[in-house]
Amino acid sequence: MYKLRSMAVVLTVVVLLAVSGCGSDSPPFVDTGASYTDQDVTSVFGSVDANSALGQPTADAPALRSAALGALRGEGEAAASAADLITRTFASSTAGVPVYVERALFNGEQALIVVEAIGPKGGKLSDLRVWVIDETGEVLYSGTR
Query: Residues 104-135: pLDDT tens digits?
Result: 999 999 999 999 999 999 999 999 999 999 99
Amino acid 101: pLDDT: 97
Give pLDDT, residue 92: 78
Instruction: Inform me whether the pLDDT recorded for 6 exceeds 50.
Output: no
Alpha-carbon span 97 to 116, nearest angstrom: 5
Q: Which range is most confident: 47-51, 95-99, 109-113?
A: 109-113
What confidence score (pLDDT) does residue 77 get? 96
Question: Judging by beta carbons within 10 Å of its beta carbon (0-12, 13-18, 19+), is residue 79 exposed, middle or buried?
Answer: buried
79-127-37-40 Cα dihedral, nearest 10 degrees: 120
Closest CA to 30 of 44, 12, 19, 41: 44
Is the pLDDT at 74 greater than 90? The verdict is yes
Cα distances (Å, whole numbers) of residue 93 to 18, 59, 66, 79, 113? 27, 10, 9, 21, 20
Specify the pLDDT at position 12.
Answer: 34
Q: Give the CA distances from residue 139 to residues 11, 50, 132, 143, in Å, rounded to whole numbers and listed in that order.
A: 47, 22, 6, 11
Rounded to an integer, the average pLDDT of 48-65 is 92
For residues 99 and 49, the answer to whether their CB atoms sit within 8 Å is: yes
In this prediction, residue 5 has a pLDDT band, given cuts at 50, 70 and 90, of very low
Write the single-letter amino acid at 132.
Answer: V
